[in-house]
Chain A
C-alpha cells in the first residue's frame, strides 16, 4: 500500500464551481499534512497545511483532515482558470514528507 494515495483522475470543473480533491494515507503516526500546487514546468508551491482534525480555511481554499479515517481533502471554492494545475498531497513524519502522485485540475472558463 502506498503511503499517500490520490486516486482521482484529472478533474474538470467549470469556472466558479467548487473543486474537491481527496487524499488517503496509510501511516497513522503522521503528524502533518500539506497541499501543494504545481503548475506545468514549475516547482511545487505550498497552499495549505493542517495538523489537527477538522477544517482549516484560507481564502478560497479549505483543507479537511480526518485522522480516524486517514484522509485529507482540499476544496477550492469559486474555481478560477489560474487554479488549473496539479495538486499534490503530502504527509509528514520522521523528518520526511511522503507525496501522492497528484491530481490534475482543469478549470473550464
Chain B
C-alpha cells in the first residue's frame, strides 16, 4: 500500500512569491492534515480537510490556505512568502479523522531567500 506522497520535496522561493504544495493521501484515507515544522516552534497544525471541507484550522495568517479535491488529494498554498515561512511542511492522512492513526508524508522543505 503506497504511503502519503508529497510533492515537491524541495522548493526555493524568494520573498513575495507564492507556492503550492501537493499531497496524495494513503488510498482509502479521506482526512488530510497539514503541519508546519520548524526547529523553534515544533510541529504546528495548519488545517484539516475531509470530503473537500475544511473542518479545523490552526492559528496561521490568511496567507496560508488549502483545499481538498474529490479524490481526497489536497493542496496548500502560501502567498506573499516571508522569510519566516521557511520550514518543513508535512501532510498526514488518516481514514476519517485525525483522532485515528495519522501517517505522514516525507514533507516539502521550503526555503525562502
Contact = CB atoms under 8 A, between A and B. Distances in A.
Please tell me the size bucket of the interface on B.
20 to 34
Interface stretch (A54-62, A72-80, A89-97): A89-97
Judged by DSSP, the binding face of A is: strand
Contacts of A25: none
A36 B101 CA distance: 10
B103 interface: yes
B102 A34 contact: yes
B58 to A, nearest CB: 7
Given A43-B106, A46-B102, A99 B43 contact: yes
Contacts, number: 58
Contacts of A45: 104
Interface stretch (B61-69, B72-80, B92-100): B92-100
Contacts of A93: 99
A1 B68 CA distance: 32
Contacts of A43: 88, 90, 104-107
